[in-house]
Amino acid sequence: MSEPTPAALSCEEIMRALNDYVDGETVAAVCREFAEHLAGCNPCQVVVDNIRKTIRLYKAGEPYPVPPQCTARLTAALRAKWAATFPAPPAHPR
């Protein structure tokens, strides 16, 4: 018994199924529909290509050095956010 062929997928359906597709976990009929949609939809092509590139970079596991200026700005921003979220209690008079 063969699987029914699904109707054409919309961009929204593509985005919902994207993780399974990129991981190779979708059924063959959906993969065909996905490929057909991608063949004619540049925005979805860009999204899928970016996700594939991100996965490849992540799997390569090569560390990326963070520039010192970026580290300093990030640390300052995190400290400011922490101070705003968790203000120090007022000091008790002695």
The tokens describing 70, both together, are 């970026």
What is the rounded CA–CA span in Å between residue 48 and residue 6? Answer: 20
The tokens describing 36, both together, are 């057909």
pLDDT at 75: 95
Encode the chain (94 residues) as per-residue pLDDT tens digits: 334 344 577 888 877 777 777 777 766 777 788 788 888 889 988 988 998 888 888 888 877 788 999 999 999 999 999 999 998 888 777 6
CA distance to 4, 5, 28, 36, 59, per residue, from 1 (Å): 9, 12, 14, 23, 38
Q: Are 21 and 34 in contact (CB under 8 A)?
A: yes
What is the rounded CA–CA span in Å between residue 41 and residue 27? Answer: 21
